[in-house]
Amino acid sequence: MASVSIERVKGVPRYVRVQTGSGDTRQTVRHPVPSRGEREAKRMLLDLEARYNSGTFRAADADSMTVERYFEDHYIPSRRNAPKTIARKKSDFKKHVQDDLGAELIAAILPTRVQKWRNTLDGHGLMEGTQRLIYQMLQGMWAIALEDGYVTTNPFKSSKVDKPKGQTTSKIKSIWSAEWVEGMRLAMDDRYRVIVTLGSGMGLRAGEIDGLCVCCDVDLPGGVIHVNRKVGLADLAPKAFYGPPKTKHGTRTIPLPPGVRAQLEAHLDAFPAVPVTLPYVDHTGRNHGPQTHALVVTTPQDHHVNHNVFLSRKWRPARRALGIPDIPENGCHALRHFYASRLINNSKKTETDFARIARWLGHSSADFTIKRYLHELAELAPDFSGLEDLFPTPEVGTVLSEPIQLSDYVSQKRAKVVDLG
């Protein structure tokens, strides 16, 4: 028997809650009340109670729906994720779910079958964090199937299944030395050296560097940089797009150290920012149309930097030439770890210090920053000798200037070219 009740928020009926099963198999589904009216809520309650308890609350094709078909026809179209996230979900399903569970009926999957599939993940050589992501995806898919009437329980929530417990972030295996950082900067072509500077001196992620706009993000008079967007890449169209930073905390303001500012100014003098137009795609995957930003870093062809191409043609050859281990952990993100570790190393490690560092890194909390870096730093004992002039412990600027309008910036650069000509 199903237990059906009205769930209210501040006295207003918001959901009709249905609880089925008992013990380990107990499931809760909330059906939104469209009009939030009392009469509509009571009507839904009676209807759902009758349908659940009579066993008629089933989708018409529930008896023939396979796991693969539900994933492709129902789950993926219902997701409002960024294109890159959708591509990752499809890839994970194809590699680790399709061959084992894809052809089976979704309604026939029981906790014992889930555990059998779960055991196969260990044989794929996946980290616990990756296994956890895949497991959570399927658990979410079954939750939607439950509301759609394709299944009656969610076997992925059963206590009989050994759920992955690993973290989704990999452990930091090493912190670069100042010698490696400066070596990579000097090994880059002149127009790309600022990527190393902004990564190691500001802690920007690669996509945030690629999407940095000189007009509304770079505040030289105020001594800060505002992180407002990234350039994202995806296998699906659009191939490249502007988007918000990785998380909501990624939109932030970071103090600009003097050495970084000097190199940034020199870069902009040698390679003036170029207006680049790309579609803007939000976290839900919605395309808001084209936007134009004068990007700090561009290619010789005045295009945005494709990070994958940059890695293969510039970063990895330079890394190999310097004798830095050619492993994924030594990608551009190592510069961000260098920045974070150096800030922590130079701080008094107080609660205020960690709150400030977390804000500059775009972390959700100081606790995450401590968990991510502090204990691992004690084990790694990184070497931060050198580069003190280039990357001193930054102080937050107090003077903020008004952002330059894109049209004004372009006009100024055109006038400069005319004067030089």
**More confidently predicted of 15 and 51:** 15
The pLDDT, as a whole number, for residue 413 is: 42
Task: Write the burial class of residue 325 (CB in 10 Å: 0-12 exposed, 13-18 middle, 19+ buried).
Answer: exposed
The pLDDT, as a whole number, for residue 121 is: 83
The pLDDT, as a whole number, for residue 123 is: 76
Enumerate long-range contacts of 67-72, CB under 8 Å, 24 or more apart: 67/97, 67/101, 67/102, 67/103, 67/104, 67/105, 67/106, 67/109, 68/98, 68/101, 68/102, 68/103, 70/106, 70/141, 70/145, 70/150, 71/97, 71/102, 71/141
Rounded Cα distance between 86 and 113, Å, is 26
CB-based contact 234:277 (threshold 8 Å): no
Mean predicted confidence (pLDDT) in 14-34: 72
- Amino acid 410 reads V
Does residue 38 register a pLDDT over 80?
yes
Mean predicted confidence (pLDDT) in 192-211: 95
**More confidently predicted of 266 and 49:** 266
Does residue 29 register a pLDDT over 70?
yes
The pLDDT, as a whole number, for residue 396 is: 33
Rounded Cα distance between 94 and 235, Å, is 15
**More confidently predicted of 395 and 220:** 220
What is the DSSP-derived secondary structure letter of residue 25?
Answer: G
**More confidently predicted of 380 and 97:** 97
The pLDDT, as a whole number, for residue 392 is: 42
Domain boundaries, the chain: 3-53, 62-157, 178-420
Does residue 193 register a pLDDT over 70?
yes
- Residue 15 main-chain phi, psi, to 5 deg: -140, 155
Rounded Cα distance between 97 and 137, Å, is 11
Range with the lowest mean pLDDT among 33-42, 176-185, 209-218?
A: 33-42
- Residue 410 main-chain phi, psi, to 5 deg: -65, -40
Rounded Cα distance between 7 and 18, Å, is 10
Q: In the CATH scheme, what is the homologous superfamily, with its name and number, of domain 62-157?
A: Tyrosine recombinase, N-terminal domain (1.10.150.130)
Does residue 388 register a pLDDT over 70?
no
Q: Do strands 218-219 and 27-32 pair parallel, antiparallel, or not at all (unpaired)? A: unpaired
Q: How far is CA 257 from CA 30, 198, 266, 316, 390, in A?
A: 51, 10, 14, 27, 8
Task: Please write the tens of the pLDDT for every residue from 120-168.
Answer: 887 777 777 788 999 999 999 998 888 788 888 899 999 889 988 765 5
Does residue 400 register a pLDDT over 70?
no
Task: Please write the tens of the pLDDT for every residue from 243-271.
Answer: 999 888 999 999 988 889 999 999 999 99
Q: How far is CA 47 from CA 43, 261, 309, in A?
A: 6, 65, 57
Q: How far is CA 249 from CA 202, 261, 359, in A?
A: 16, 24, 8
Task: Please write the tens of the pLDDT for every residue from 345-386.
Answer: 777 778 888 888 899 999 988 888 887 776 556 555 554 444
Fold classification of 178-420 (topology level): hpI Integrase; Chain A (1.10.443)
**More confidently predicted of 325 and 175:** 325
CB-based contact 253:48 (threshold 8 Å): no
The average confidence (pLDDT) of the chain is 82
Mean predicted confidence (pLDDT) in 72-79: 86
Q: What's the whole-model pTM score?
A: 0.65
Q: How far is CA 152 from CA 161, 168, 313, in A?
A: 17, 29, 52
Mean predicted confidence (pLDDT) in 209-224: 93
Strongest mean pLDDT among 98-102, 162-166, 325-329: 98-102
**Beta bridge partner(s), residue 255:** 224
Is omega for the bond preceding 244 within 30 degrees of 0, making it cis?
no
